[in-house]
């Protein structure tokens, strides 16, 4: 009886080995086939895009529109304002506004908006002390305050950035 079970065990293990061998061979073929398909799609199956006159005209018109939508710089007149605090100091600033679009540039050019914008900048500068504007961080914070105040005045336009071309404190 012991001989019959001993003969059956090697037969079962050889069947299991054949099944595992066939399974690994099939898995190997599937993986190899998938890899070959990916190589074909990424290299051999690639087709160059067709360039037509309509697509090139559309691309050219988009480039022309982007060129006209470039940001514009609006230079405000120089500000000479008293700072708060002791000792009394005066600040002279020339502010340039980097407008995001032509609409914003035209909107800030309107005399009513221009006066409101100047008034907002003067009020912001009047509230500052020398210690607040002498450091780089103070100047950056001042730029942010001016930008927020001017953007709240504008309907269509957006002030993207503020540049100080003249900044003197006496």
pTM attached to this predicted model: 0.59
One pLDDT digit (tens) per residue for the chain, 170 residues: 555 555 566 667 788 888 889 999 999 999 999 998 888 887 776 677 777 777 778 887 777 666 565 668 888 999 999 999 888 999 999 999 988 877 788 888 887 888 899 999 999 999 999 999 999 999 999 999 999 999 998 888 888 899 999 999 98
Options 3.30.479.30, 2.40.40.20, 1.10.132.20, 1.20.210.10; CATH for 70-169 is: 3.30.479.30
Domain borders along the chain are: 2-67, 70-169
DSSP assignment of the chain: -HHHHHHHHHHHHHHHHHHHHHHHHHHHHHHHHHHHHHHIIIIIT--PPPP-HHHHHHHHHHHHHHHHTS-EEEEPPPEEEEESSSS-EEEEEEEEEEESSHHHHHHHHSHHHHHHHHHHHHHHHHT--HHHHSSHHHHHHHHHHHHHHHHHH-SS--EEEEEEEEEEE-
């Amino acid at each position: 009886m012991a001989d019959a079970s001993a003969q059956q065990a090697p037969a079962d293990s050889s069947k299991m080995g054949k099944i595992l061998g066939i399974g690994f061979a099939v898995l190997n073929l599937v993986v190899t086939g998938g890899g070959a398909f990916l190589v074909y799609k990424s290299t051999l199956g690639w087709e160059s895009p067709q360039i037509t006159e309509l697509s090139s005209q559309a691309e050219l018109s988009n480039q022309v529109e982007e060129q006209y939508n470039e940001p514009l710089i609006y230079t405000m007149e120089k500000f000479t304002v008293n700072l708060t605090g002791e000792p009394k100091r005066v600040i002279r600033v020339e502010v340039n506004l980097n407008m995001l679009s032509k609409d914003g540039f035209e909107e800030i050019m309107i005399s009513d908006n221009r006066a409101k914008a100047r008034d907002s900048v003067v009020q912001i500068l009047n509230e500052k002390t020398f210690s607040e504007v002498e450091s780089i961080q103070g100047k950056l914070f001042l730029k942010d305050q001016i930008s927020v105040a001017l953007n709240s005045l504008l309907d269509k336009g957006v002030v993207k950035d503020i540049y100080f071309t003249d900044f003197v404190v006496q």
